[in-house]
Structure 1
């Protein structure tokens, strides 16, 4: 079995390789809601700044709310040591938190964690799997509701919370109606958690560490690109869809969007490319420096090799099959269901064997889509 090290490349650059009620998640973090019985509450909105690679190479600084991020209420009723009193997640649309306890508190503060329930997390290292944390301002003699206003993630930690926030986008589109888990392979209370390792002192990264830790490793600036985050999550998702199995990949070091690699490499990398673009609703790959590469291609596109050993041909074919005007019903849901049942070693097997078995078309519009991207079976 091989180590899958995927780094986000560009043209002629090698690729190295929830919640609770709002997200339909169960049994993750027990939250203490604001009720008439609550005598001490800290409220506010969690936000973070981030460099926006999707906006171009200038990477403008944006501020946005941190959605579905874990928080904990810490406090003490007397002169003793502060303890954890309640936990929950920030709002799925507004980043709001309401952290309450049933008694007045001599001191209280909110601790924020770089994770979302028990479904995904960002940790410090493979051998130090603790979340990044920081605390809000402390309040004394807390009785009733105290509004902390806007609480901002420290600038040194903002990339960890960008990963946490970005993974919401994939979770919301995971197309698993049967449980709150990432795929229908698992049931509530027994979900697998995706782990990202981000170390601001390490430049190397951009790979899913299969079959070792199965963690995603990101270097310092890599979280600036949502596409990069979701591409690596896409490898993990394919592994989950296949019941913790993965195609045997060869000829993948290096690999490029528009160049030949191998059938297995083009399938797994093309799927990960398509996951990121589909989740974000576009048709490109964006690198952490803000440059991007379009998946628009046909037989006349300069510099592109032909066929299903080219990851860009595979990825764009998938995106067109899943498109609003495509033959699969306007989304990827039937492909996700198919992959949960059937293992495909490469794109040929997915298209010629598993799609027909699942009642998905391989003729007409579907066949024309592949031909338009130089893939013919």
Structure 2
């Protein structure tokens, strides 16, 4: 058994549309703004974030928070506020409309660092509560009150960046059979991915397998979407394999362009490819804004050769899934393959499991691997 701990900084110098609204809620359903609603709070949830993908200057950006959980809290009289409704912000615009059927003496919206019951950001492994904050309170609410843009507090903005970033992976998860992460699970029985983020803790950048199976992120690590999605990629592979994972050796430390082992290069290369594929690019970005490109055709200065190099494996996958690649322009057939076949390493994936599902290993596919110095 192994603990997959991939540090994005200290250990790795070279590395460091299905709408989510189809998932529904396991708690109270969202209350639409209808004629029956006598009190509504509306607005847009947004957050600032440091954009590592833009380079080492990491400019501060503002964007809407999509598919983030909200709750309407309020009271009709002099009693204590209770939760009256729940829902998620808009999948494209971060809008929320939180309504109750009666006028309210006081009302406010509570926002949670989670999305439905599919992913969440919690405070600690032993304190799995969401981060929350409340909007401004409004009194004597009758009809619709527009709160305008509600901003996530700066001290919590990285938690909501994780929540928002996970949308891009969910939207590309290639599971038409259910709203779950993979076809191995049915609606109502989906597994949820948990991120542990503590702004006071620098250590992180790993998926905690086989212990909690949570992703741990250090203080500034959510600044990189690639880092978030790389660690989520480990969890996704575990899910695709039915909560199983290859036995990984010789993986600490590991580097994009250097030899490790076949198992390490496969699991790390797959996670690299998950992040780049979801974001539509061809690189890995560290949380300090530095990055490494996966361009490595043929002998490349500073790069080792073969399928024990995670950058060679990851770039091969990206090229197989590319719009002009041999797999149909996406990763969908690989995702389907991985729900039925367990691959211990990239060799097994390519030479045994791809033929089993009718994916090519000759012609363009073979040339892609050869271009990345992998020959079978």
TM-score bracket, normalised by the shorter chain, equals: over 0.9
Q: Structure 1 residues 18, 152: CA separation in 2 closer, same or farther (over 3 Å shift)? A: farther
CA distance in 2, matches of 1:11, 1:81: 50
CA distance in 2, matches of 1:177, 1:237: 16
Q: Structure 1 residues 152, 12: CA separation in 2 closer, same or farther (over 3 Å shift)? A: closer
Gaps (5+ residues) in structure 1? none
Q: Shift in Å at residue 75 of structure 1?
A: 0.1
Q: Shift in Å at residue 300 of structure 1?
A: 2.5
Deviations 1:174-194 (A, max 9, x none): 000000000000000000000
Q: Give the stretch that moved more between structures: 15-24 or 173-182.
A: 15-24
Deviations 1:172-226 (A, max 9, x none): 0000000000000000000000000000000000000000000000000000000
Would the aligned equivalents of 1:7 and 1:16 in 2 still touch at CA under 8 Å?
A: yes
Aligned length: 376
Q: Shift in Å at residue 299 of structure 1?
A: 2.2
Q: Structure 1 residues 12, 22: CA separation in 2 closer, same or farther (over 3 Å shift)? A: closer
Q: TM-score, normalised by structure 2?
A: 0.97
CA distance in 2, matches of 1:295, 1:10: 21
Q: Shift in Å at residue 298 of structure 1?
A: 2.0
Deviations 1:136-176 (A, max 9, x none): 00000000000000000000000000000000000000000
CA distance in 2, matches of 1:344, 1:14: 26
Would the aligned equivalents of 2:298 and 2:372 in 1 still touch at CA under 8 Å?
A: yes
Q: Structure 1 residues 134, 186: CA separation in 2 closer, same or farther (over 3 Å shift)? A: same
Would the aligned equivalents of 1:16 and 1:254 in 2 still touch at CA under 8 Å?
A: no
Q: Structure 1 residues 111, 358: CA separation in 2 closer, same or farther (over 3 Å shift)? A: same
CA distance in 2, matches of 1:305, 1:362: 23
CA distance in 2, matches of 1:11, 1:374: 25
Q: Shift in Å at residue 36 of structure 1?
A: 1.1
Deviations 1:16-62 (A, max 9, x none): 8996635688889x211111110000000000000000000000000
Secondary structure at 2:23's aligned position in 1? Answer: coil
Secondary structure at 1:368's aligned position in 2? Answer: helix
Q: Shift in Å at residue 244 of structure 1?
A: 0.1
Secondary structure at 2:22's aligned position in 1? Answer: coil
Q: Structure 1 residues 224, 345: CA separation in 2 closer, same or farther (over 3 Å shift)? A: same
Q: How does 1:61-80 map to 2 (within 5 A)?
A: 61-80=60-79
What is the alpha-carbon root mean square deviation over aligned residues? Answer: 2.3
CA distance in 2, matches of 1:201, 1:17: 36
CA distance in 2, matches of 1:33, 1:13: 50
Q: Structure 1 residues 17, 254: CA separation in 2 closer, same or farther (over 3 Å shift)? A: farther
Q: Structure 1 residues 12, 113: CA separation in 2 closer, same or farther (over 3 Å shift)? A: closer
Would the aligned equivalents of 1:18 and 1:25 in 2 still touch at CA under 8 Å?
A: no
CA distance in 2, matches of 1:181, 1:336: 13
Q: Structure 1 residues 24, 353: CA separation in 2 closer, same or farther (over 3 Å shift)? A: farther
Would the aligned equivalents of 2:26 and 2:117 in 1 still touch at CA under 8 Å?
A: no
Would the aligned equivalents of 1:26 and 1:180 in 2 still touch at CA under 8 Å?
A: no
Secondary structure at 1:92's aligned position in 2? Answer: coil
2:221 alignment partner in structure 1: 222
Q: TM-score, normalised by structure 1?
A: 0.97
1:343 alignment partner in structure 2: 342
Deviations 1:288-334 (A, max 9, x none): 00000000002221010000000000000000000000000000000
